[in-house]
């Protein structure tokens, strides 16, 4: 076991160096070419769930056999039926309209003053000896005196205003036992050297989906909405990593 330890450490250090070099390489490429769009894929990475993408081979064979001599394909939607999303893989449009305003103001003031004194008038006749030891003056009645004063004043205010108006198409990734739908969606837009990314995920009721197959973000339970970006502008606006660490862990 002791002979394998150096080799394991070498492998671990090599893997770490390779990871750092790849990260540095990707950062350098992004600095030169700008951020790249993520590949198109099933948006299960937002909220991982157990999903069924396609029916099994046996189910597909049964469906083909059942609809071999029929004008209607098994599982196809009717022309006059409900076209709203209700199954895994269906697409629903999510309208995000956030217009939040919040304003809070607090003020606190506190003051306290303490004054305490104590003395010994007679202590086995030694109070006279103490008087000779302190030629500057000694008063046995005021041997101990304590004074304290504390003042505190604090105030704070919060003023926030947020407005986001966006529309995104999400995919039904799972159907819960009670019929509710789990949806996930991701959208990326690249303008010059800046990528704007919008993600949405949550749980919706089929009854809340309108006839136009749309739903508002206020009707999404456990909603997770993220709107941000990456690129030259976002990097310049972000606080440097060293400064962020200092501000986070500084006790002052």
Cα(17)–Cα(124) distance, integer angstroms: 79
Closest CA to 38 of 230, 250, 173, 244: 230
Top pLDDT among 170 and 17 is at: 170
CA pair distance 82, 116, nearest whole angstrom: 83
Q: Contact, 92 vs 172, CB < 8 A? A: yes
What letters, b where the CB count within 10 A reaches 16 and e where it falls short, cover 180-205? bbbbbbbbbeeeeebbbbbbbbbebe
Average pLDDT of the chain is 75
Over residues 186-214, mean pLDDT: 90
What pLDDT shows up at residue 247? 82
The whole-number pLDDT of residue 209 equals 93
Does the residue 219 lie in any domain? yes
Question: Six-digit token pair at 127?
Answer: 């109070």
- Number of structural domains in the chain: 2
CA distance 232 to 192: 10
List, for residues 52-79, the tens digit of each pLDDT value: 445 566 666 666 665 556 666 655 555 5
Query: Cα–Cα distance between 69 and 52 in angstroms, integer?
Result: 28
Whether residue 224 contacts residue 199, with contact meaning beta carbons closer than 8 Å, is answered with yes
**Domain annotation covers residue 40:** no
For residue 2, pLDDT beyond 50: no
Residue 44: the pLDDT is 54
203-218 confidence digits (pLDDT tens): 999 999 998 999 999 9
Confidence band of 169 (pLDDT split at 50, 70, 90): very high
Residue with tokens 């209607």: 72
Mean pLDDT, rounded, for 172-183:
91
Q: Can you tell me the distance from the alpha carbon of 58 to that of 73, in angstroms, rounded to the nearest whole number?
A: 17
Average pLDDT over residues 25-51: 58
Distance CA 27, CA 241 (A): 15
Same domain, 150 and 167: no
Of 192 and 117, the structure prediction assigns the larger pLDDT to 192
Domain boundary among 139, 157, 175: 157
Whether residue 167 sits in one domain with residue 55 = yes
Among 125, 157, 189, the domain-final residue is: 157
For residue 168, the model assigns a pLDDT of 93
- Give me the pLDDT at residue 150, please: 85
Sign (positive or negative) of CA dihedral 32, 37, 38, 40: negative
Residues 164 and 236 both lie in one domain: yes
SS3 state of residue 28 = helix
DSSP E strands, the chain: 91-118, 144-175, 181-191, 194-204, 214-216, 221-231
Q: Torsions phi, psi of 75, nearest 5?
A: 90, -5
pTM score, two decimals? Answer: 0.55
Domain of residue 63, residue span: 46-68+81-102+160-240
Predicted confidence at residue 184, as pLDDT, reads 92
Higher pLDDT residue, 55 or 166? 166
> Is the pLDDT score of 43 beyond 70?
no
Is 7 contained in some domain?
A: no
């Amino acid at each position: 076991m002791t002979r394998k330890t150096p080799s394991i450490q070498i492998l671990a250090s090599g893997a770490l160096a390779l990871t750092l070099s790849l990260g540095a390489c990707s950062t350098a490429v992004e600095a030169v070419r700008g951020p790249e769009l993520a590949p198109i894929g099933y948006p299960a990475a937002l909220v991982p769930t157990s999903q069924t993408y396609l029916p099994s081979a046996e189910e597909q064979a049964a469906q083909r056999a059942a609809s071999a001599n029929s004008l209607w394909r098994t599982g196809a939607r009717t022309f006059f039926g409900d076209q709203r999303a209700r199954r895994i893989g269906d697409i629903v449009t999510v309208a995000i309209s956030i217009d939040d305003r919040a304003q809070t103001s607090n003020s606190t003031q506190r003051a306290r003053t303490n004054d305490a004194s104590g003395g010994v008038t007679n202590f086995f006749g030694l109070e006279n000896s103490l008087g000779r030891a302190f030629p500057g003056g000694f008063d046995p009645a005021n041997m101990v005196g304590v004074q304290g004063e504390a003042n505190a004043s604090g105030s704070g205010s919060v003023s926030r205003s947020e407005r986001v108006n966006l529309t995104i198409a999400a995919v039904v990734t799972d159907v819960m036992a009670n019929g509710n739908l789990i949806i996930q969606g991701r959208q990326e837009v690249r303008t010059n050297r800046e990528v704007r990314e919008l993600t949405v995920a949550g749980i919706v009721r089929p009854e809340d989906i309108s006839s136009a197959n749309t739903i508002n973000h206020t009707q999404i339970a456990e909603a997770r909405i993220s709107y941000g970006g990456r690129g030259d502008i976002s990097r310049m606006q972000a606080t440097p990593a060293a400064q962020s660490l200092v501000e986070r862990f500084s006790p002052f």
